Amino acid sequence: MSTETVTISKLGAQGDGIANGPDGPIYIPFGLPGETVAIARVKNHRTIMSITRPSPDRREPLCRHFGPDGVGGACGGCSLQHLGDDAYRSFKRDLVIDALKSKGLAPAVGDLVVAHPGERRRVVFAARKTEKELLLGFNQAESHHIVSISECPIASAAITSRLDAIKAIGKAMATSAEPFRITVLETLSGLDLSVEGIKGLSDQKRRATIETTLGLRGIARVSLNGEILVEPMKPILDFGGVQVSPPPGSFTQATKPAEDIMAELVTSHVGKAKRIADLFAGSGTFSLRLARTGRVHAVEAEDKALKALDHAARNTQGLKPVSIEKRDLFRRPLMASELKVFDAVVFDPPRAGAEFQSQELARSGVKKIVAVSCNPLTLARDLAILVAGGYRVTSVTPIDQFLWSSHVEVVASLEK
């Protein structure tokens, strides 16, 4: 291990401080611009040992699990809890501006829609059984070590108040000391626990899991690797007044406030379009809201999510017709010839973006497009393809759905 003193010049895209070293940039987790810090180096990993000159933007973290002396590294759930609000919001907005600039785009970017503590309804915990207990928390930064938590300021009260119940279910399911994941989703009817990483359960373990769950309050469903083990109540989400029961472990927006704002941006840009395609539709976050005003064709690769969307549409009065199509849009994007029947298209792909689908959209005559993304870099690439095809970006709104992380959600609208 070697030590050295450096001055941090800027924040990197992952939230690390960056100092200029003789051999290139030095990335320092939890460092802030303008700080002079003493760092320890083990191979390529740097750790702040002390701060000689702290940044005026440095603040006390809200959570005691974040790390000692305001220098993170204990719990790996947050990376930017030590950064003051104004600097933090500028950092998030700049992530979007810089990504667009890298592709030669310079549309106006709106102010960051802020997130608040206690809003996260979907949290992915790391878990591991020990001789005495179940560790439940997050992996320490750049480590497989699980920091067990007793609080989490980003998570909803419904989740944090039931940490003991989640631990009890995880302990009943654990078959070895191997780590596994528990995705917890707050729904209207209770918590939905989706466990992955446990290979299989004996009949005894299965019974123990069911009995433990039934003996607890506030748990709607427990599943393992997509298989429902016990469902005291069907998990229900509300998508703009339409009730949907999502399949185990399926994608949902991480916070309800962010989802509502994203949906408002999507529906307002689509306006009174009569024929709408919703691509990468999931369980219907946007489709079911858009069906209030127009006919919607929802395209999604995951069969169970599509069935949940279809069931909700068929059992809700007052919606325009919703058609569904199971299709892998990465392998088979909707072609320009298929898109010609639509007045508007919405797409919300995974982090990899929608490069091939954007190429087909660029060749189409669709009047309005809304692009939703959790990755500014792939979004910028897709927008550049559309702009080259004759589209104009009319608005870009960054949304802080992932509080105190280096991730930011974006909604961009375009017109031909």
Q: Report whether 300 belongs to an annotated binding site.
A: yes
Residue in the block written with tokens 């600039």: 101
Check if the beta carbon of residue 235 is closer than 8 Å to that of residue 187. yes
User: Which is it for strands 45-53 and 322-326: parallel, antiparallel or unpaired?
Assistant: unpaired
User: Which is it for strands 368-373 and 295-300: parallel, antiparallel or unpaired?
Assistant: unpaired
Tokens of 218: 């506030």
Catalytic annotation on 374?
yes
Q: Report whether 253 belongs to an annotated binding site.
A: yes
As a residue count, the chain comes to: 416
Residue 321: phi, psi to the nearest 5?
-60, 135
Tokens of 324: 């569904």
User: Which of the residues 63, 75, 152, 374 is marked catalytic?
Assistant: 374
Helix (H) or strand (E) holding 197: none
Residue 150: phi, psi to the nearest 5?
-120, -5
Burial of 254 (0-12, 13-18, 19+ CB in 10 A): buried
Q: How far apart are CA 366 and CA 151, in angstroms?
A: 48
Q: Report whether 338 belongs to an annotated binding site.
A: no
Closest CA relative to residue 11, chosen from 80, 73, 109, 110: 80
Tokens of 63: 């959570």
Residues annotated catalytic, as ranges: 374
Q: Which residues are annotated as a binding site?
A: 253, 280, 300, 348
Q: Which residues are annotated as a binding site for S-adenosyl-L-methionine?
A: 253, 280, 300, 348
